[in-house]
Amino acid sequence: MPYVVTRLCIDCLDRGCVEECPVECIYELREPTDNSLPRMAYIHPTECINCGACESACPWGAIFEDRELPMPYHSDGELNAAPERNPQQFKVAKPQIDSEGRLVVLPKPSREQVAANQAKWSKK
Ligand code: SF4
Ligand code: SF4
């Protein structure tokens, strides 16, 4: 089963998962974004080889194997199929690089921040 990025990623998009993916199957929306889709990472369900490397790399705990999606995020599996349905709206996500060519590493969220993000998106 493919892995899935849940809504817990929305507006984070630090791309920590992207660096770990061996097959570049994590996508993001092209600019200007389609407002009907959230700004987050998307795992292409057919291209994903199910290696699991991205799951542990996500500091927000936003990635799950498809069959293990917790209840509040069940519909996010379908959301991840968007790059397959509408490839023209997406591009392969790349690690963030600063103006001097260095990899941008965002500060890791605290346990409290992760819990607050989970509480926020579990209610919607
Ligand atoms: S590491 Fe997690 S929060 Fe960051 S872009 Fe990937 S899925 Fe989103
Ligand atoms: S499970 Fe592996 S192949 Fe699939 S998105 Fe994550 S890192 Fe990429």
Domain count, the chain: 1
Q: Do residues 63 and 4 touch, judged by C-beta distance below 8 A?
A: yes
What range does the domain containing 111 cover? 3-119
Q: Is 1 in the pocket of ligand 2 (CB under 6 A)?
A: no
- Identify whether 124 is part of a domain: no
pLDDT digits 0-9 by tens, 25-58: 999 999 876 678 999 999 999 999 999 999 999 9
Exposure on the CB side of residue 73, measured as CA atoms within 13 A: 25
If you measure from the C-alpha of residue 77 to the centroid of ligand 1, how many angstroms do you get, rounded to a whole number? 15
Question: Does the CB atom of residue 48 touch ligand 2 within 6 A?
Answer: yes
Q: What is the pLDDT of residue 25?
A: 98
CATH number at residue 14: 3.30.70.20
Number of H helices, E strands in the chain: 5, 5
CB of residue 41 inside a 6 A radius of ligand 2: no
Is the pLDDT at 9 greater than 90, yes or no? yes
Task: Identify the pLDDT of residue 13.
Answer: 76
pLDDT tens, 82-110? 999 999 999 999 998 889 999 888 889 99
